[in-house]
Structure 1
Amino acid sequence: MKLASYKGGHDGWLMVVANDLSVWAPATDVAPTLQYALDHWADVEEDLRILSDALNSGRVKDVEKFDTGNCSAPLPRAYQIADGSAYLNHVELVRKARGAEMPPEFLHDPLMYQAVSDPILAPNDDIVVTSEEYGIDFEGEVAVITGDVPMGATPEEAAAQIRLIMLMNDVSLRNLIPAELAKGFGFFQSKPPSAFSPVAVTPDELGAAWQGGKVHLPLICTLNGRVVGKPNAGVDMQFDFGQLVAHAAKTRPLRAGAIIGSGTISNRDRAAGVACLAETRMIEKIETGVMTTPFMAFGDVIRIEMINDKGASVFGAIEQRVTRQS
């Protein structure tokens, strides 16, 4: 089942999307918003699946051509977003470039920070920044939306509460990060709002690509029309989503609608390319001593998409232009 939110109000209007992303239909008779559906999942899931099946078999009359321009993020605002760093190759490269070793505890204790959850950018919203000097970067990720997760849930219990999966662009302002981390209190100004794919899908929609709490598909990142990376999200992921959700819930319950991100997808195989520019720069620093790849500039366009083994887009694309704050 594929779900999206039509732009409107603070929380959008829930839509069911055809498996091939060709058309969509209102689901508001079942649940007005995605957050409502998540809050009442046990009551509405079956009806949403019935509507989805009817849409995919051509039995729904009230349909429109699917248009990502009319999509907000699946959740235009959320109770919380916690973003992890499950791909240790990314962490190792960043630390190695500055001459630091990776602490051994990173192998069993995930990194995680609290991200901006209101507002959340639509998949085609501009990345609006005051200055290019901030070091504008994209970060291609996978994220999950949970149901209610009790405090202290095990990874298995947490995995059972994963309701939906989507893509994420965790926008980072790289040149603001060092000073913030030096304060010892985490990210804030260096992490503006993130964007999410137009469509969120139930895990069963991924078929064999959803295994072990990971999405085993490549994430295609295209900057200004040039593919910069196709790292596989199921490869080199140290912590699966059950573990990430359980980590977030260790000392607090998560309410339905919590979003947990994977962190930048990163493969040890250099041929896979990158899902952020910082990683390219770190490799340059390690290999040549000099970073030559610039961060994004005003006018640049980043596109993030995941294609299945049939060549079809799974979640639709995040496509954003970097613009100057007026």
Structure 2
Amino acid sequence: MRLASFLVGNRPAYGVVTDDGIIDLSARVGDRYPDLKALLGASAEAVRAAVASAGRPDLRADDVVFLPTIPNPGKILCVGLNYHAHLAETGKAETAHPPIFLRVADSQQGHGQPLLVPPESHKFDFEGEVAVIIGKPGRRIAEANAWDHVAGYACYNDGSVRDWQVHTPQWAPGKNFYRTGGFGPWMVTADEIPPGTVMTLTTRLNGEEVQRTTTDLLIFGIPHLVAYLSTVMPLETGDVIVSGTPGGVGAKRNPPLWMKAGDVVEVQVDRIGVLRNPVAHDPAAQ
């Protein structure tokens, strides 16, 4: 099942994306579940019942503006240096534990919406990744039980302003410029992607492939990330774990390859879909 958040006019909504259109679930069950995060907090049976009772699609994709899949996550937990190819191109040593940094919710954009180049830098880089959305809350989750806490998966572009990222040893400034990350176009629920499924991740800039990997090459796999992060803090429904980018980032190319206004960047995961974002100047800076 593909679940998305979007705007219908000015109304925030969510629903099921089908090949024939979008079922606006929020118009049917929004009194019980005001947003997609709330729906994910319901039982799996409740979610299936809501979908089964919804009937035929009532919206086209052109009728909506896609929002980040979870517009209001409590936490966005990102993993750095989690593929050997990316680790090698950075020249950094492998660590015993996953490097973790945070993104904030308003650093994200939905599918089809522009990623914004800040006027403070032209070093705006792409990072295609697989995002893991938490369904069942938990603390100190064992790796053996980690899959039970995963609600689904989405594509993610961890857009990075590289010079601001390396102002200090802490990466947060370069990872949190307004509307620089893409999240979507939807999440595919975990019942359609069995535990341990190997997914192929591809990033394209203006139609040319710039990154490709498979998720079996993650240094720290999804169960380990769930267990590790839930040791530090409770994982709540709607929290997002962004699992890491492979080699091929623009900063490590010769010459470097930066995203600029007028570009189109796509992150594709074979079991999920294609997250597509144009790139534009930040209009607030004009």
**What is the TM-score of this pair, normalised by structure 1?**
0.76
**Cα distance 1:218–1:251, how it changes in 2: closer, same or farther (>3 A)?**
closer
Pick aligned residue for 1:247 from 201, 209, 228 = 228
- 1:204-241 deviation digits (Å, cap 9, x = unpaired): 223xxx442xx523223221222223322x23111221
Aligned partners of 2:203 and 2:209 also within 8 Å? yes
Matched, 1:138 2:129: no
**Cα distance 1:300–1:132, how it changes in 2: closer, same or farther (>3 A)?**
farther
| Per-residue deviation, 1:74 | 1.5
Distance in 2 (CA, whole Å) between partners of 1:265 and 1:203 is: 23
Q: Larger radius of gyration, structure 1 or 2?
A: 1
Opposite residue 171 of structure 1, the aligned amino acid is G
Q: Which residue of 2 aligns with 1:235?
A: 216
Matched, 1:39 2:41: yes
| Per-residue deviation, 1:294 | 3.2
Secondary structure of the equivalent of 1:83?
strand
Aligned partners of 1:124 and 1:318 also within 8 Å? yes
Matched, 1:92 2:112: no
- 1:98-127 deviation digits (Å, cap 9, x = unpaired): xxx514xx2x41111111223531112212
Secondary structure of the equivalent of 2:210?
strand
Secondary structure of the equivalent of 1:303?
strand
- 1:182-206 deviation digits (Å, cap 9, x = unpaired): xxxx222211342111210112223
| Per-residue deviation, 1:302 | 0.9
Matched, 1:151 2:139: yes
Q: Which residue of 2 aligns with 1:278?
A: 251
Aligned partners of 2:151 and 2:190 also within 8 Å? yes
Aligned partners of 1:152 and 1:246 also within 8 Å? yes
Distance in 2 (CA, whole Å) between partners of 1:42 and 1:69 is: 26
Matched, 1:218 2:200: yes
Q: Which residue of 1 aligns with 2:182?
A: 195
Opposite residue 257 of structure 1, the aligned amino acid is G
Pick aligned residue for 1:205 from 192, 200, 203 = 192
Q: Percent identity?
A: 25
Pick aligned residue for 1:301 from 241, 264, 276 = 264
**Cα distance 1:33–1:27, how it changes in 2: closer, same or farther (>3 A)?**
same
Distance in 2 (CA, whole Å) between partners of 1:146 and 1:13 is: 20
Richer in strand (by share): 2
Aligned partners of 1:68 and 1:124 also within 8 Å? no
Aligned partners of 1:34 and 1:75 also within 8 Å? yes
**Cα distance 1:144–1:89, how it changes in 2: closer, same or farther (>3 A)?**
same
Opposite residue 189 of structure 2, the aligned amino acid is T
Secondary structure of the equivalent of 1:73?
coil
- 1:41-69 deviation digits (Å, cap 9, x = unpaired): 35622314535xx7xxxxx3452333485
Q: Which residue of 1 aligns with 2:93?
A: 102
Distance in 2 (CA, whole Å) between partners of 1:190 and 1:9 is: 32
Opposite residue 44 of structure 1, the aligned amino acid is A
Aligned partners of 1:301 and 1:322 also within 8 Å? no
Q: Which residue of 1 aligns with 2:73?
A: 78
Pick aligned residue for 1:174 from 152, 156, 162 = 162
Structure 1 segments unaligned to the other structure (5+ residues): 55-59, 267-273, 282-290, 309-313
Distance in 1 (CA, whole Å) between partners of 2:59 and 2:71 is: 21
Secondary structure of the equivalent of 2:151?
strand
Aligned partners of 1:146 and 1:258 also within 8 Å? yes
- CA-based RMSD of the aligned residues comes to 2.5
**Cα distance 1:116–1:11, how it changes in 2: closer, same or farther (>3 A)?**
farther
Q: Which residue of 1 aligns with 2:7?
A: 7
Opposite residue 142 of structure 2, the aligned amino acid is T
Aligned partners of 1:154 and 1:246 also within 8 Å? yes
Distance in 2 (CA, whole Å) between partners of 1:241 and 1:67 is: 34
Pick aligned residue for 2:238 from 223, 241, 257 = 257
Aligned partners of 1:77 and 1:119 also within 8 Å? no
Distance in 2 (CA, whole Å) between partners of 1:110 and 1:80 is: 17
Aligned partners of 1:149 and 1:158 also within 8 Å? no
Q: Which residue of 2 aligns with 1:113?
A: 101
Q: Which residue of 2 aligns with 1:162?
A: 150
Aligned partners of 1:142 and 1:167 also within 8 Å? yes
